Amino acid sequence: MTHEEIELTSPKLVAVLDMGASAIRLVVAEIAPNRSIRTMEEASRGVLLGRDTFSLGAIRSRTIDTAIAALDNFKHIINGYGVTEIWAVATSAVREARNVDVFLDRIQRRTGIAFAIIDEAEESRLVFLAAKQELRRAALRAAWTLLTEVGGGSTSLTLLHQGQPNRSAVYALGAVRLRQQLDLRRLTHDVQVAVLKRSIANVIDEIRLDNPLRRVSHMVAIGGDVRFAASQILEGTGENGVREIPRDAFLAFCDQVERLDEEQLVDRFRLPAVEAETLVPALLVYRTLLSETAARKLLVSDASLRTGVLLDVADPGGRLSAEEFEQQVLASAETVGHKHRFDRVHGRHVMSLATQMFDAFRDDHGLGDRERLLLQVAALLHDIGIYVGLRGHHKHSQYLLAASQIFGLSNDETAVVSNIARYHRRATPQKSHLPYVALDRQDRLTVDKLASILRVANALDAEHLQKVTALRLVRRERSWILEIDGTGDLTMEQLAATSRADMFANTFGQELVIRRGGVRS
């Protein structure tokens, strides 16, 4: 048996580190050749990075030393298992720190561990991936399910419709962030709780505008604080890592806990001080969200960000097929469109035409399936700027999209999408256009290629009547011919597309001639 064959038939050991706002956590797991995962050891060390970031804007040297000491201990565990593959991710408390580069550099030089900063969209994707097995249960195939994780720095919400992500967002509503930004230390405990409730209610008002919370019939909760609550309310560990807490029992436990200050929580539940500090704010968020829904029970999952990373490592993309992922991204994009009252029929039709063009020119643009998806999102949402105003709506589309959260798209990908949509009409990219110039060279080139396709596709539905139904590419020596098929008179579409083919010619170095093919009356 060759060395490669041995590797394929032997399990591999992997370590995953998650650096959050209140703790650094480790899981060491064995991944079998069939991609099944067996947890070997888990460890956690409370390090309140968020206490520094959310109050000072940077991580203090003393806190950095504490983080390094924790990671040194974790390295002993990792080395003891003989692990050679380490995946390390950091979230909001690190992401938002002014001295993030210095912080991560010190860690890498001292421990040899290189942390990757993941954005909100990637957090949502990994958490959904981790909870996916539970979400397959029949009970969660109801119309609306809310998947919630309250962390130290933020609250992640994914709204599912019949088990598929409909929309997702991350809100600055974390347990550590709340305590630091509200500066509660000098207040009595009762006043602290009142201030927390008022601040949480303000954010919930925003969440309610974006999500039909009253329609939610099932709520799934993820996170250490809610798992602790489940362990106190229920006996046993639940079935398949899921515990079901009756709504009234959870609300009653929250009422009980909110009366206790941090010292009383430590004495009553033998909690570490770090966990006692986050418990009340986190449970208040979970309780407020649950109260907004029609859910009769709270389902508490053992899934975590670390679980999602492990699943991704074990089977990259396999746990969420390309087709399924694409559907979820586009469903989330449509939700953004509905929020801005977009023309769904026009958006979908332009997306179809743009996709046909992308596929026809695949050998020429050299882009892959990920860029194809970015084009689809941009095509679907290119006109959302009309919500602000018809005049200059392409510019409005750009900044609305740049500020949107679309499930499965990173901040960098969202920036690319917003620029593609920006150039669906009027001016082509200029050095004076700051959002475009801010992209790196490769992303600017992607925008050039995809926006030139979108301009033509959008023009082919100039009258919003969906008359053009199919496209064909015919290559000639000096030009490319795009033959269009459809119903009725296509003169307007032909003229509009010809006038919008300027960017295409400049980008690809080929004149694009728009010609009518077979026309059915």
pLDDT tens for the 521 residues of the chain, in order: 454 444 556 889 999 999 999 999 999 999 999 888 999 999 999 999 999 999 999 999 999 999 999 999 999 999 999 998 999 999 999 999 999 999 999 999 999 999 999 887 788 788 888 887 665 654 556 689 999 999 999 998 888 888 777 777 788 899 999 999 888 888 999 999 999 999 999 999 989 887 889 999 999 999 999 999 999 999 766 666 789 999 999 999 999 999 999 999 999 999 999 899 999 999 999 999 999 999 999 999 988 999 999 998 987 655 455 666 788 789 889 989 988 999 999 999 999 999 999 999 999 999 998 899 999 999 999 999 999 999 999 999 999 999 988 888 888 899 999 999 999 999 999 999 999 999 999 999 999 999 999 999 999 999 999 999 999 999 887 789 999 999 989 999 999 999 999 999 999 999 999 999 854 43
Which of residues 117, 132, 154 is at a domain's end? 117
Domain of residue 91: give its range. 3-117
* Runs of H (alpha helix) within 140-297: 175-182, 189-210, 224-233, 247-258, 262-269, 273-292
Report whether 222 contacts 281 (CB < 8 A).
no
CA distances (Å), origin 134, targets 27, 128, 138, 308, 325: 20, 10, 9, 13, 18
CA dist., res. 510 & res. 477, Å (int): 10
CA dist., res. 442 & res. 444, Å (int): 5
> Per the structure block, which two tokens stand in for 187?
């207040």
CA dist., res. 426 & res. 392, Å (int): 9
Whether 373 and 486 share a structural domain:
yes
At residue 328, the pLDDT reads: 79
Whether 310 and 215 share a structural domain:
yes
Closest by Cα among 507, 359, 383 to 446: 507
Whether 197 and 98 share a structural domain:
no
CATH assignment of the domain containing 262 = 3.30.420.150
> Per the structure block, which two tokens stand in for 90?
């950091």
Whether 106 and 210 share a structural domain:
no
At residue 66, the pLDDT reads: 97
Whether 336 and 385 share a structural domain:
yes
At residue 237, the pLDDT reads: 63
CA dist., res. 266 & res. 239, Å (int): 29
Three-state DSSP at 368 gives coil
Whether 164 and 234 share a structural domain:
yes
- Cα angle 440, 445, 447 (rounded to 5 degrees) comes to 95
CATH assignment of the domain containing 105 = 3.30.420.40
- Tell me how crowded residue 362 is: count the other CB atoms within 10 A of its CB: 13
Cβ neighbors of 4 (< 8 A, separation 6 or more) are: none
Which of residues 117, 135, 164 is at a domain's end? 117
At residue 6, the pLDDT reads: 44
CATH assignment of the domain containing 353 = 1.10.3210.10
Q: Provide the domain count of the chain.
A: 3
Size (the chain), residues: 521
Closest by Cα among 158, 12, 147 to 87: 12
What string of DSSP letters covers 90-156?
A: E-HHHHT-TTHHHHHHHHHHHH---PEE--HHHHHHHHHHHHHHHHTSGGG-SSEEEEEEE-SS-EE
Whether 128 and 249 share a structural domain:
yes
Whether 328 and 472 share a structural domain:
yes
Cβ neighbors of 146 (< 8 A, separation 6 or more) are: 157, 158, 159, 160, 211, 213, 216, 218, 219, 220, 289, 293, 295
Whether 296 and 361 share a structural domain:
no
Whether 103 and 139 share a structural domain:
no
Cβ neighbors of 228 (< 8 A, separation 6 or more) are: 269, 271, 275, 279
Whether 280 and 296 share a structural domain:
yes
Whether 413 and 494 share a structural domain:
yes
Report whether 298 contacts 250 (CB < 8 A).
yes
By DSSP bridging, strand 144-150 and strand 155-161 are antiparallel
At residue 320, the pLDDT reads: 52
By DSSP bridging, strand 85-90 and strand 37-46 are unpaired
Which of residues 102, 117, 132 is at a domain's end? 117
Three-state DSSP at 233 gives helix
CA distances (Å), origin 207, targets 142, 168, 172, 174: 21, 11, 11, 14
- Tell me how crowded residue 34 is: count the other CB atoms within 10 A of its CB: 8
What string of DSSP letters covers 375-441?
A: HHHHHHHTTGGGGT-STTHHHHHHHHHHT---TT--HHHHHHHHHHHHTSSSPPP-TT-HHHHTS-H
